[in-house]
Structure 1
Amino acid sequence: MQIPNRPPVVVGVNGTAAGLAAVRLAAREAVSRGTTLSVVHAFTWDAAEARQAASRFVEEAVRTAQRSTPGVGVQGQLVDGPAADVLRRFSRTAAILVVGDRDVTGSALLAVVTQAWCPVVVARGPRPPAGRVLAAVDGSGPSVLALRFAAETARRQGCPLDVAIVPGAGGEDRARQTLDDVIAGVPVRPDRARAARGRWRRAIRLGGLRGAATRRLSDRFRPWPPGAGRGEGRDAAKTRKQATRPAPIATVSKS
């Protein structure tokens, strides 16, 4: 059910498979939030044939959203301008902005992720995996926002919430204290919270959270199951493949 006056979910597309994966994720998010989906393609060419091709990108994305998530309210827009500028402008009035990991390239993706006015979700892989929600925190302001975003995502999706911190120079004891302080400051009680080591540290790295990036990222992922990688034969290989499926990454840098 769509709730009037709620900000839309915005997804940027560019005619690629990564863009359509982002559309499927964005459509699901729009329905779970009770809002509409806006499909946006930034256009910078002058040729009429190129504009027609761009319009077809948008039309295909709209059909993909309708097929993958029946009942989603969706509209497509072809907007003149560089991708980073267009998506940043749309982010001012969006609930979240979704892009594909290969749909917005290089410096444009970096600009969107770091300068958007709403949370940015980077879709990775052809279809969103089912699994837990992981918030990676470090005690900074943005990481608190990431935890709030992760908690709300877990609530809407009916998924367990995990919170992790990667110990730094201060060691594991200091990391655990920081983790406790962050959790105490938000109205959420995670299912699991711990310093990331072993399979947790590996899960964060598989999700794309490395180094300083951990401070602003929350990640929906299929966690590394106990014993994965230690067994033998086809069952172990299947478990390992499931555990390493790329998961969407959400960046949260503004309230």
Structure 2
Amino acid sequence: MRNPVVVGVSGTSAGLAAARLAAREAVSRDCQLRVIHAFTWPNPGASEDYEDARRAASRVVEEAVASAKRSTPRVRVAGQLVDGPPDRVLVRLSRTSALLVLAGDDLATAPSLPLSSVLPLTVGHSWCPVMVTHGPRTPAGALMVAVDGSASGLLALRYAAAESRRRRVGVEVVHVVREFAGRHEEEGHRVLAASIAAVPELGRVRTLVLAGAPGPTLVHAGAHARVLVIGPRGTRGTGLLGSVAREVMHRAACPAIFVHGRAIPAQRTPSGSSGALAR
């Protein structure tokens, strides 16, 4: 049995849009969609309020399931109300999921954690790839993947190769340098060539060396991409997310997929500089 696509919702229009996107992802993978709402109760002494809150939470799940079915009638979908903090619930479910889909504007409303923490905690600690979306629009461009010569970038490239075949779309491989000067641009092309050589299943791709601050440059470049794939480098102290990944997570116009090393077995790292893309 194939692992499901899991979408986390909390009752916003952004969450409903994420559920519809997740339904399409599930059908394209021929797997089930699971709609999850994490329920926490901060006031144990108020039993009447608890029952009302739990009924409201159940309606959140029901509405998202109905929206997914309306948008994609072929989807096999099940909804579930799960007790616990949203980041812990979703990370636990990610262990047996093919893909975790989150709406960036949706999880920011979760009451049990500070406004800005649920999304990066979930993305940073997930065991499966995480797709973050900020709206209903899905551009029709190529699949874009960012590389920087690191093992993290290579994992993203390998995942992008598989996704491009499944989606039947072209791939744009991007490397960001701080500025267009002779050695920086040459080094950027070397990083691209070494990365692509390490993933022969890619086939033909378009390569781009871009100049600027890595985060904003990737966000701008991905404005017309179908999907932006990134291997989020960081440290345990920052929840496995670096500054570039956080910028993409919060600002990318297209859906962004974050791929961790634990989700895909590591292979050899291409030679070349680590570049400027310090994720």
TM-score norm. by structure 1 comes to: 0.80
Q: Is the 8 A contact 2:178 2:211 kept in 1?
A: no
Which of 103, 106, 109 pairs up with 2:106? 103
Aligned to 2:274: none
RMSD across aligned C-alpha pairs, in angstroms? 2.9
Q: Tell me the amino acid that sits aligned with residue 185 of structure 1.
A: A
TM-score norm. by structure 2 comes to: 0.74
Q: Distance in 2 between matches of 1:171 and 1:245?
A: 25
Which of 136, 152, 165 pairs up with 1:142? 152
Q: Distance in 2 between matches of 1:218 and 1:182?
A: 21
Which of 26, 31, 48 pairs up with 2:27? 31
CA displacement 1:200-240 (0-9 Å, x = unmatched): x9772234889955579999xxxxxxxxxxxxxxxxxxxxx
Q: Deviation above 3 Å: which 4+ runs of structure 1?
A: 207-219
Which of 253, 259, 263 pairs up with 1:252? 259
Q: Tell me the amino acid that sits aligned with residue 67 of structure 1.
A: R
Find out whether 1:11 has 2:7 as its counterpart.
Answer: yes
State how 1:184-223 maps to structure 2 within 5 Å. 184-186=197-199, 187-197=201-211, 204-206=218-220, 207=222, 213-214=243-244
Following superposition, the deviation at residue 152 of structure 1 comes to: 1.9
Structure 2 residues not aligned, in runs of 5+:
45-49, 109-115, 224-229, 234-241, 265-279
Q: Distance in 2 between matches of 1:29 and 1:7?
A: 12
Change beyond 3 A, Cα 1:42–1:19: same
Change beyond 3 A, Cα 1:144–1:119: same
Change beyond 3 A, Cα 1:55–1:215: closer
Q: Distance in 2 between matches of 1:55 and 1:128?
A: 28
Aligned to 1:60: 63
Following superposition, the deviation at residue 107 of structure 1 comes to: 1.1
State how 1:90-239 maps to structure 2 within 5 Å. 90-105=93-108, 106-168=116-178, 171-186=184-199, 187-197=201-211, 204-206=218-220, 207=222, 213-214=243-244
Q: Distance in 2 between matches of 1:94 and 1:183?
A: 28
Q: Is the 8 A contact 1:10 1:94 kept in 2?
A: yes
CA displacement 1:102-130 (0-9 Å, x = unmatched): 11221111111111001110012123232
Q: Tell me the amino acid that sits aligned with residue 85 of structure 1.
A: R
SS in 2 for 1:150: helix
Change beyond 3 A, Cα 1:44–1:172: same
Q: What is the number of equivalent residue pairs in this alignment?
A: 226
Q: Tell me the amino acid that sits aligned with residue 117 of structure 1.
A: W
Q: Is the 8 A contact 1:146 1:217 kept in 2?
A: no
Structure 1 residues not aligned, in runs of 5+:
220-243
